[in-house]
């Protein structure tokens, strides 16, 4: 028995284990959801298979977090660049920082 790591419907490796139920001393019935095609699968896994799934989940999570942090940094850099240009062109005033719904200053 080997851990199901590829979706049999679409071939994606983004399988997310959601629930598991013990079926013996070393066998767990695992419910997996494919993040790509949304298919659900139930497969028996050993505890060693589950460790491998956990390892893969941690690696995927690290990849996602790295991508997210890189995206946030790029976004903040773009905003800072735009803000710098706006300041240089004297387009920013105190009114730009008033709370939403507050009356503009007279
Ligand atoms: Zn799939």
pLDDT of 1 above 60: no
The arithmetic mean of pLDDT across residues 38-62, rounded, is 91
Distance 43 CA to ligand 1 centre (A): 14
Ligand 1 centre from 25 Cα, in Å? 29
Q: pLDDT tens for residues 5-38?
A: 889 999 998 888 899 999 888 899 999 999 999 9
- Return d(Cα 43, Cα 23) in angstroms, integer: 11
Over residues 45-57, mean pLDDT = 89
CA of 68 relative to ligand 1 center, distance in Å: 23
Confidence of residue 106 (pLDDT cuts 50, 70, 90): low
Residue, of 1 and 98, whose pLDDT is higher? 98
Q: Say how many Å lie between the CA of residue 55 and the centre of ligand 1.
A: 20
Ligand 1 centroid–CA 74 distance in Å is 31
Question: 43: which 2 tokens?
Answer: 């497969």
**70 Cβ neighbours under 8 A, 6+ residues apart:** none
DSSP state of 5: -
Span from the CA of 99 to the centroid of ligand 1 (angstroms): 46
**How far, in Å, CA of 41 to CA of 58, rounded?**
21
With residue 58 as reference, give the H or E element that holds it. Answer: helix 47-88
């Amino acid at each position: 028995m080997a851990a199901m790591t590829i979706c049999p419907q679409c071939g994606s490796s983004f399988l997310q284990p959601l629930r598991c139920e013990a079926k013996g001393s070393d066998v767990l019935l695992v419910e997996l959801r494919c993040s790509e095609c949304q298919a659900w699968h139930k497969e028996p896994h050993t505890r060693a298979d589950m460790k491998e799934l956990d390892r893969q989940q941690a690696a995927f999570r690290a990849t996602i977090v790295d991508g997210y942090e890189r995206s946030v940094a790029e976004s903040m850099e773009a905003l800072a660049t735009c803000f710098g240009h706006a300041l240089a062109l004297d387009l920013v005033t105190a009114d730009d920082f008033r709370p939403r719904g507050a009356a503009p200053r007279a």
